[in-house]
Amino acid sequence: MEFMPEQRVGKQANFGKSVSIHKKALDQLIAMTDRITSADGRTPTIVPFLTIVRSSRETPKSQGVLTPSFCLILRGTKKFYLGQEIFHYSAGDYLTSLIDIPAAAQVIDATEESPYIGLRVDFTTQEIASVAMEAEISTEPKEKNRGAGAFIGKSDAALLDIFFRLLTLVDKSKNVRFLSELIKREMIFNLLSGDFGHLFLQKALFDQRADGVGKAIHWVKENYARSFTIEELAKSCNMSISGLHHKFKAVTTMGPLQYQKQLRLLEARRLMLSGPMGATTAALTVGYESPSQFNREYRRLFGLPPLQDMKSLRRTSYAGGFEDS
């Protein structure tokens, strides 16, 4: 995870002017989202990959899986937990993830008068690779040390203009899918060729396409309910045990078995919330052999044992989604 500093501006007057323009652009985007929805939660739009996230109050810490996406905050502040690290990002900041990463987040600055508002764009690594190939942008890493599979950066005028055009499409009824895909590709190009974003995206793409660690992450995600050893996983990906563990942790902030455990617990929680499924059945469904071990690890991750957690979530009308924008 990296925090990308704002680009320095030579003259103080120009800096103040650019800040003012940036705020006006954010305010314009806020006004556009207000015309679309005033409801808290996630609001899908007619643009297939664009979601508005809104909250008129601060929220408790919510566990989930951060999927490949670009999340821009228009107003408010969010706290983001990745592994042992905690980050804050606010209006004008964005969070980008290139892989599925267990994480947690909470809104820490929101009121009814000034609600938190975020915009989320979902994409795939295939789309990124396609843009990089067509634009002839090299995806070779420029340094040996690679960052984690997510990072926080600062938006610029070009990026805010892209979101303006996406929101403008919400009012249209014709050719939305075609036009929105073109704008999305422009967004990906903007990130790939930017001062900071392309460094991370290139490294993440290299991890996914050229290293065995990308294959390992995908396999664990698709087979989280199966038992496996580090030795078996490393062999299947043509990696050494130490190499697999080091690279896996560098990208996801945790080792393969910890990654599997968090995926299991998150899926068990989702199953219990979505229907009349008890803790024991959920534990067995996601691959646990010992209900008591499941209960211990569930409480360690979520703070409460399964039954109490379900009562608490339903009492607070928890929607069950991880709102990571």
Indicate whether 78 pLDDT > 90: yes
**Side chain identity at residue 30, one-letter code:** I
Choose the weakest-confidence range: 116-125, 186-195, 196-205, 261-270: 196-205
Indicate whether 305 pLDDT > 70: yes
Choose the weakest-confidence range: 197-201, 248-252, 287-291: 197-201
Rounded to an integer, the average pLDDT of 232-247 is 91
Distance of alpha carbon 317 from alpha carbon 294, whole angstroms = 24
Q: What H or E segment, with its residue span, contains residue 182? A: helix 176-193
**Predicted local distance difference test score (pLDDT) of residue 121:** 96
Residue listed under structure tokens 């996630």: 42
Rounded to an integer, the average pLDDT of 140-149 is 53
Instruction: Answer with the residue of higher pLDDT: 314 or 27.
Output: 27
Q: What percent of the chain has pLDDT over 70?
A: 82
Mean pLDDT across the chain: 84
Distance of alpha carbon 16 from alpha carbon 222, whole angstroms = 49
User: Model confidence at 116, in pLDDT bands (50, 70, 90)?
Assistant: very high
Rounded to an integer, the average pLDDT of 22-45 is 94
User: Model confidence at 171, in pLDDT bands (50, 70, 90)?
Assistant: confident
Spans of all domains in the chain: 12-207, 211-325
**Predicted local distance difference test score (pLDDT) of residue 101:** 86
Inter-residue contact 76 to 58 (CB < 8 Å): no
**Side chain identity at residue 100, one-letter code:** D
User: Model confidence at 51, in pLDDT bands (50, 70, 90)?
Assistant: very high
**Predicted local distance difference test score (pLDDT) of residue 211:** 56
The angle formed by the CA atoms of residues 242, 104 and 38, to the nearest 5 degrees, is: 150
**Domain 12-207, CATH homologous superfamily name and number:** Jelly Rolls (2.60.120.10)
Choose the weakest-confidence range: 14-18, 249-253, 287-291, 298-302: 14-18
Inter-residue contact 190 to 158 (CB < 8 Å): yes
Indicate whether 4 pLDDT > 50: no
Rounded to an integer, the average pLDDT of 260-282 is 93
Q: In the CATH scheme, what is the code of domain 211-325?
A: 1.10.10.60
Task: Supply 26's token pair.
Answer: 């954010």
Grouping H, G, I as helix, E, B as strand and the rest as coil, residue 116 is strand
Cα R_g (the chain), whole angstroms: 21
Rounded to an integer, the average pLDDT of 119-143 is 76
